[in-house]
Amino acid sequence: MHIPDSRLHPHPTGVVVPDGLLSSKYTNRHRSGGGMYVLCWREAVSALKKNTKCLKFAMPPRLADYIAHLLRLRVVQEFELLAERLEYAVRSGKNRRVSGAILRRLTRDEWIAVKSTKSVPYENGVAILVVPPLNKDPTTKERPRASLSALPPMDERPLEASLPMSTLLPVSSQLVNANLPSSLPLLHIPLYNGITAFPSRSQRSALHSILLRILKAERFIKYLHYKPEGSKSSKASHAFLLCSDKATARRGDASGIARALWRLKMYQGLGWQDV
């Protein structure tokens, strides 16, 4: 978040504007005389509002909500960057024989197992996102149009209290490994509920469309015929597994997505206790 230095302007009051939250491909950094960093935490932004008088800064009324929107948009942008890289790999024919999925859908059996055991059996997992397709509007009978706009959305719906934005699930292989030192913390993988994490229907529609783009590109890779062991149902669920290891790193980097998701989690006050 960038704050212009009021000493370089004719007026004594500067305006607080978020900066550096989106990917550099989609926007340029603001150029002004100065600025300051604020913790990626909604409460820190609210606390800053109490000090605007002594700091001579003007605070937009919904700045905290706008920052949350930009953090969500950064997640979508990172997924789109991955989609573009994988689509280029398909067109160029590079790394087609490399095994390992960067993104795939969990089967219904796999998703049921994750929910029932409250653990994740994928050591190379980075995150799980539950993003169902959007229903048609009961009035217009149309699905919402996908939007990647940085402007504040007009279609955000209240967060559903029954669905937490994110929870941490332990990797199940560690739970049965008695050789691990007891002093080491268990590895956890974050689970994100898309309906709560992305309350804007148009933005969530864009995310879902990009996830499908990635899956389409992944089908050209060798692991298209992958079948999970012990899975009775091959039907896909609405849960997407994001993976990263030395094999997937040759085709695409999931770390940018993981960071953007965790930044959103921290902003909502859900990640500080896990750091």
Contact 174, 47 (CB under 8 A): no
Average pLDDT over residues 218-247: 73
Please provide the distance, in angstroms rounded to a whole number, between the alpha carbons at the two ends of the chain: 22
The amino acid at 121: P
Cβ count within 10 A of residue 174:
15
Average pLDDT over residues 173-193: 76
CA 79 to CA 231: how far, in whole Å? 28
Burial call 4-29: b when 16+ CB within 10 Å, e when fewer: bebeeeeeeebebbbbebbeeeeeee
SS3 letters across 213-235: HHHHHHCCCHHHHCCCCCCCCCC
Find residue 120's DSSP bridge partners: 171
CA 126 to CA 107: how far, in whole Å? 17
177 burial level (CB within 10 Å; 0-12, 13-18, 19+): exposed
Chain mean pLDDT for the chain: 82
> Pick the residue with more confidence: 275 or 170?
170
Average pLDDT over residues 121-135: 94
**Rounded to two decimals, what is the model's pTM?**
0.85
Left, alpha or beta for 128 (phi > 0: left; psi -120 to 50: alpha)? beta
Q: Out of 43-52, 224-233, 263-272, pick the least confident.
A: 224-233
Q: Out of 66-80, 123-137, 211-225, pick the least confident.
A: 211-225
CA 275 to CA 273: how far, in whole Å? 6
Average pLDDT over residues 242-268: 92
Highest mean pLDDT among 159-173, 217-231, 248-262: 248-262
pLDDT greater than 60 at residue 216: yes
pLDDT greater than 60 at residue 12: no
List CB contacts of 43: < 8 A, sequence separation 6 or more.
Answer: 269
pLDDT greater than 80 at residue 95: no
Alpha helices for the chain (secondary structure H): 42-50, 52-55, 63-92, 108-117, 172-175, 194-197, 201-218, 255-267
pLDDT tier for residue 239 given thresholds of 50, 70 and 90: very high
List CB contacts of 156: < 8 A, sequence separation 6 or more.
Answer: 69, 199, 200
